[in-house]
Amino acid sequence: MASVWTVAKQELLTTLRDRRTLTSSILIPLLLIPLFTVGLPLLLSTLLGGQAQTRQTVGVVGKLPDALRNQLTLDSKTEKGVRLVSVTDPTAAVQKGDVDAALRATTPLPSEAGKSGTLQLFYKVGNLKAESGAASKVRSVVQTYNKDLVSKKLAELKLSPALLTPIALSTVNASNAVEASSGQLAFIIPFFMLQFILAGATAAATDSTAGERERGTLEALLATPAPRSTVLMGKLVATTLTGLLAAAFSVIGLSLSAPLALLLTPAGQSASQSAIQQAFGGSLALGPAGFGAVLLAAASVALLLSAALLTLSLFARSVKEAQTYIAPLTILIILPAVMLQYADFLKTGAGLYAAPLIGSMLVILDTVKGALSGPHLLLSLGGNVLAAGALTLLATRLFGREGVAFKK
């Protein structure tokens, strides 16, 4: 065991001298998760708020009722109105950028309920600026205008507005506090964490195998009295610890999200701005048990990925070649992570939680949604440890072969 730690210590010292390793293992995990869960939604909500306080230009073809024109141009406490200009071709005006949106009254528009008319709205569908700005304001004003006409008509007939809505539907959020705060994009969190672990462990794995072979120092190391299995275990320990470092700082970055959200979120956010922050999980808050479960899952992933990285790197003559072999591992992480966005539709049984890597992603996702299950956590840990053991055994056999150890 002492020999293993001696090799591991030497490998760690070599790895920690590399600034790129420190950046990928510490700085990026620490900054990127809070940046995604807090910074990005704050930026988007600021942009949306800017659209609300900007007076967009809307082209008009035909005649609009005076009351509707006044409502379109009227400023409110939360947003500014639009500026109306006459245009001849609404489609061309929008495409050229002369106006943000355009309205065309194909028939005379009513000024009282009981009559009908058609008002066409022209804008670049799918354009976020147009959707959140001019188009959103026009829709809101037209909806309010219609309600006002109906309310006046009902008042004339001495009827209650409740006549139009016999049943009032009220939505109650049945999610627990943690699930409600995790957001719809919570599936990104396990993807980020596994990518950080992979990035942190890759540098150590490739440098300690293919890198040493490329520099010509691997042969000298294997010539020492220490058994090759001991040398390999030392390299595995060093690679795993580097991956664990990335995992730990990923969890720290995750824990910083909620305090940073409280500190940086401005008061008086609109409903749409709060919804954006909620979708990204900017208000995510986990308890000690949740953070412990995430850390355990991440640690088992670090062990598994380290064993896989070492095994693949043994076949490479150089670091560049090793990175080519390792590239498919990224795909193995991306594909399940993409499927996690549909996790609510999946029937997740014990077999899926026991699957290496996939089970850990599910456990992390369950944890950030407040649905942590002890048996599922144990299954994912067991699956990762067993897979890591099998890969370590394979790497030991390969390392014992002269053709692999001294590959030229």
The predicted-structure confidence for 333-371, as pLDDT tens digits, reads as follows 888 877 877 766 777 778 889 999 899 999 988 888 777
pLDDT score, position 402:
65
In this structure, the answer to whether residues 276 and 332 fall within a common structural domain is yes
Q: Are residues 8 and 113 in the same domain?
A: no
Please say whether the beta carbons of 188 and 331 come within 8 A: no
Report yes or no on whether pTM surpasses 0.75.
no
Tens-level pLDDT at each residue, the chain (408 residues) = 666 777 777 777 776 777 776 777 777 777 777 777 676 666 666 666 667 778 999 999 989 999 999 999 998 887 889 999 999 999 999 999 899 999 999 888 888 887 888 899 999 988 878 888 889 899 999 999 999 998 888 888 888 888 888 888 888 877 766 666 655 567 777 888 888 888 888 888 888 877 777 777 666 666 666 677 778 888 888 888 888 888 888 778 777 766 666 666 655 555 555 555 554 444 456 778 888 888 899 889 999 999 999 888 888 778 888 888 888 888 888 888 778 777 667 777 788 899 998 999 999 888 887 778 889 999 999 999 999 999 999 988 887 776 655 555
The string of DSSP letters for 328-346 reads: HHHHHHHHHHHHGGGGGGS
> Could you tell me the two tokens for 391?
């890969």
Q: Residue 373, Cβ neighbours under 10 Å: how many? A: 14
Domains: count for the chain = 2
Residues 100 and 55: beta-carbon distance below 8 Å: no
In this structure, what CATH number is given to the domain that contains residue 98? 3.40.190.10
Q: List the strands of the sheet with 119-122, edge to edge.
A: 83-86, 57-61, 101-105, 119-122
* Final residue of a structural domain among 138, 162, 186: 162
Are 14 and 124 part of one and the same domain? no
Q: Are 144 and 71 in contact (CB under 8 A)?
A: yes
HEC string of 210-235 equals HHHHHHCCHHHHHCCCCCHHHHHHHH
Query: Is residue 107 in a domain?
Result: yes
Owning domain of residue 202: 2-46+178-405
The set of residues, in sequence order, having a beta carbon less than 8 Å from that of 82 and lying 6+ positions away, is 55, 56, 57, 58, 72, 73, 100, 101, 134, 137, 138
C-alpha to C-alpha distance for 104 and 204, rounded to whole angstroms: 64
**The two structure tokens encoding residue 328:** 């498919």
Task: Tell which residue, 32, 78, 61, 340, has the closest CA to residue 186.
Answer: 340
The 10s digit of each residue's pLDDT in 154-186 is 888 888 888 888 888 888 877 766 666 655 567
Cα distance between residue 255 and residue 259, in whole Å: 8
- Tokens describing residue 84: 């109306």
Same-domain status, 286 and 401: yes
- Does residue 172 form part of some domain? no
The domain boundary residue, chosen from 113, 137, 162 = 162
